[in-house]
Each structure stands twice: as C-alpha cells, then as structure tokens.
Structure 1
Amino acid sequence: MGFHTFDVDRAAELEDPSRYEYVSVDELLALFDPGPGDVVADLGSGTGFYTDDVAEAAGRVYAVDVQAEMHDLYREKGMPDNVEPVTADVESLPIAEPLDAVVSTMTFHEFATPEAMDAVADALAPGGRVGFADWTRAGTGRDGPPLSERYAAEDAVELCAAAGIEVDRAEDRRETFVLSGRLGG
C-alpha cells in the first residue's frame, strides 16, 4: 500500500455532507466514546469535516494532518476553540500529553504502517481508545480510493494487535470498515 494524501486542490469535496452516508456522526463517536474532558487526536483531519463533530463531544482535539494547507482551509472555515492543528505524519505524532483517544475517519489507508500504529499506541494513555472508519478493500471500489490502496478490517486488526491495541469490534461493510479498540495492559 502506498502512502498518499488527499489532493488539497480537491479539499472542497471533504465538506460534502453525503460523506455521512458512509460514517455517521453517531457511529463515529460510538467507536471511541469521547467525553467532555477527553483529549483526542484526529488523524488525517483535513478540513475538519469530522473533527468538528469530535470537538463537540471531547475536551480538546488535536487535528493532525501532514498538509499545512488543510489546516489553513480549516481555519478559514472556522476551527473550534478546543481544536489545535498539528502538522505532522502519524509516525512522528508530536503530541506531548497522553491521549484518551485516537480517531481516524476515511484516512487509515493513508497512514497505516506498523510504525504509525506503534506511534498511536505510544501516544495513548493506558486504556486509551481508538476508533477507525475507512474504505474497505472488501468493497466494490465504487467510491473512495482504488481497492489496491485500501485495507480490510482484518488488516487493521492485525496492525492494531501488533501495536498492543486490543480490538473490541471490527467489521467490513458495504464500502467501509469500522474498528474500535483500546490500548491493552
């Protein structure tokens, strides 16, 4: 699987409400159950489409994206006060405080490597939660990235397990997979 990022010239597409057809707000939040005092990192936050929803439920949210231009667009749109942009790749995740949760919506395929998952595990507080929703390799490929760039739920489970993240739920659906878990031991 090759690393790539979403083309910033197409960033307006990230604000399309039809994205909720694949992952709704309630479904996303149920994957990692954020509370009002929780510190959460949203990996691959882009223009903040889903980050805004996480910010309403959490105390502080780090919007992590490799493209500073995405943060600029998010600021222009109106970044909530409890969101802090972080320009970095997941493998280097430069967040000093322990995270209560890490979430990623439709970007797992852009960063998922053993090194990135180790960085996620290292950033989580003991018992910290993860919630991932992304395009599945088991889908038709009608929407989203090419099938060759996707992971299936079982692939995500393997990457999580190798990093010490215990998966509670993982399932492939029509075009997406969802996964929830927590840092073990």
Structure 2
Amino acid sequence: MAGKRFKPGKADRLLDPKRKEIISPEQVISTLQLKETDHVADLGAGNGYFTLPLAEAGEKVYAVDIEKQMLDLLRNRARELDNIDYIVSDLENIHLPDHVVDKAIAAFVIHEVPDLTKAFAEFKRIIKPGHRLLVLEWEKIEMDMGPPVHERMSSEEMKEVFIANGLEPDVHVYHEAVYGISAII
C-alpha cells in the first residue's frame, strides 16, 4: 500500500473537533471492549487523539509512532498521565516484547505501511492470544478529511488483508467515510 506519511507539521488536524463526529474515542474504547486492567498498543499514535482516552480507560498504553516529533507532541499533551510508554517504531518491526498487550489499535495508518504481511505478523506477535486488534481506516470515497482516495483501502480490501493474515474480520461502520475492522488474535 504505502501512501504518503502524515507530516508532523499538520498534527493539529488530528485534534480537529470534527473528528468526533466521524469517530470518537468512546466508540473505539467500546469496540475494543477495553477493561481498566488492559494494556493497549496505539499503533501510529500520532499526537494522541486515541492515546489519551485509552490511557484514562486502561492500565497502560504503548504509544507507537514512526515520528519522534509526533510522540513529543503527545508527551506534552499527556503530562498528567504516567501510564503511557512512548516508542519510536514503524509497524513492520514494532519495538515491543512478544504478547505484551491485551488490545491494539492501528488508526488511519495502515494505508501508509509498505508491507502489510510484516505488520500483521507484528500485530499478532505483540497481542496476547485471544485478544483484540482493531484497525481504523478511511473508506475509499472522496471527502475533505483523510488521505487522497488513491491512497485509501476500502473496507472490502481491508477484510481481505485480515483474511490473508489468518484472521476472522468483524466490520464496524462508524461513518460513511470511516470503518473499523477487528479480530481476535
């Protein structure tokens, strides 16, 4: 896939209040079935749109992002929270131990990953068996937010990626432009 990487200079867009109309952190927490004892990986955490609510709801969050600058922005926003670990890493070789998280979310980043097979192998490696992965992406339609249509993956394409990686996908429609696909690892 490998669309263009999101630029940290545009990080404020990730906190646009309009995002809540499309997908709210509460919807994600519900889909993940997050418990207060859960350890969660926010894969492609950016400046923390989902990370901060996940940290408030769960026991520990591993904020993973390829851009140190994005994690620095997140760290500045999360000063009151001490249960977030910041990990500079891509998603094809995640710098976390095996089976360290109960849940993982990859929000709006899969379209940027060059090798989805490697990424999904890593997701399966870091998530405890019997626990949940959630991928959020932009549906392949024109709209003002998100990447250009040619960089997006449709929900049908993403379902096929899950199946090709040995997972049984559940589709969640949050908005006409945003879907989630989850699976138990």
* Residue pairs, 1:21-170, within 5 angstroms: 21-79=21-79, 80-98=81-99, 99-111=101-113, 113-137=116-140, 139-170=141-172
Structure 2 letter corresponding to 1:66: I
What is the rounded CA distance, in whole Å, between the counterparts of 1:78 and 1:26 in structure 2?
A: 18
RMSD: 1.8
Q: Indicate the SS of the match to 2:150.
A: helix
Once the 2 structures are TM-superposed, how far is the Cα of residue 100 of structure 1 from its aligned partner?
0.8
Partner Cα distance (2:44, 2:35) in 1:
21
Could you tell me whether the CA contact under 8 Å between 2:23 and 2:175 is conserved in 1? no
Shift of the 179–24 alpha-carbon distance from structure 1 to 2, 3 Å rule, reads same
Give 4+ residue runs of structure 1 displaced > 4 Å after superposition. 170-173
The code of the aligned residue for 1:14 comes to L
Instruction: Say which is worse superposed, 30-39 or 166-175, in terms of deviation.
Output: 166-175
Residue identity matched to 2:136: A
Give the alignment's TM-score, normalised by structure 1: 0.90
**How far 1:108 moved relative to its partner?**
2.6
Query: 2:55 touches 2:83 (CA, 8 Å); kept in 1?
Result: yes
Q: Is the 8 A contact 2:23 2:174 kept in 1?
A: no
Unpaired runs of 5+ residues, structure 1, are: none
Q: Which amino acid aligns with 2:25?
A: V
The alignment of Structure 1 onto Structure 2 pairs a total of residues equal to: 182
Classify the secondary structure of the residue corresponding to 1:165. Answer: coil
8 A Cα contact 2:139 2:154, kept in partner? yes
Which amino acid letter does the alignment assign opposite residue 126 of structure 2? Answer: A
Q: Could you say if the C-alpha distance between residues 172 and 47 of structure 1 is closer, same or farther in structure 2, counting changes exceeding 3 Å?
A: closer
The answer to whether the Cα contact below 8 Å between 1:133 and 1:179 also exists between their aligned partners in 2 is: yes
Q: Per-residue deviation at 1:5?
A: 1.9
Q: CA deviation at 1:173?
A: 4.4
The CA distance in 2 between the partners of 1:18 and 1:141, in whole Å, is 13
Partner of 2:11: 11
**Kept after mapping to 2: 8 A contact 1:129/1:182:** yes
8 A Cα contact 1:154 1:170, kept in partner: no
Preserved contact between residue 152 and residue 172 of structure 1 (Cα < 8 Å)? no
C-alpha separation in 1, matches of 2:160 and 2:123: 14
The one-letter code of the counterpart of 1:132 is V
In structure 2, what is the Cα distance between the partners aligned to 1:97 and 1:2? 25
Q: Deviations over 1:7-27 (max 9, x none)?
A: 111112222222111111221
Q: Deviations over 1:75-112 (max 9, x none)?
A: 22224211111100011012115121111222232227
Change in Cα spacing, 1:176 to 1:49, as seen in structure 2 (3 Å) is same
Determine what percentage of the aligned residue pairs are the same residue: 30
Shift in CA distance, 122/97, structure 1 to aligned 2, threshold 3 Å: closer
Instruction: Give ranges in structure 2 of 5+ residues lacking alignment.
Output: none
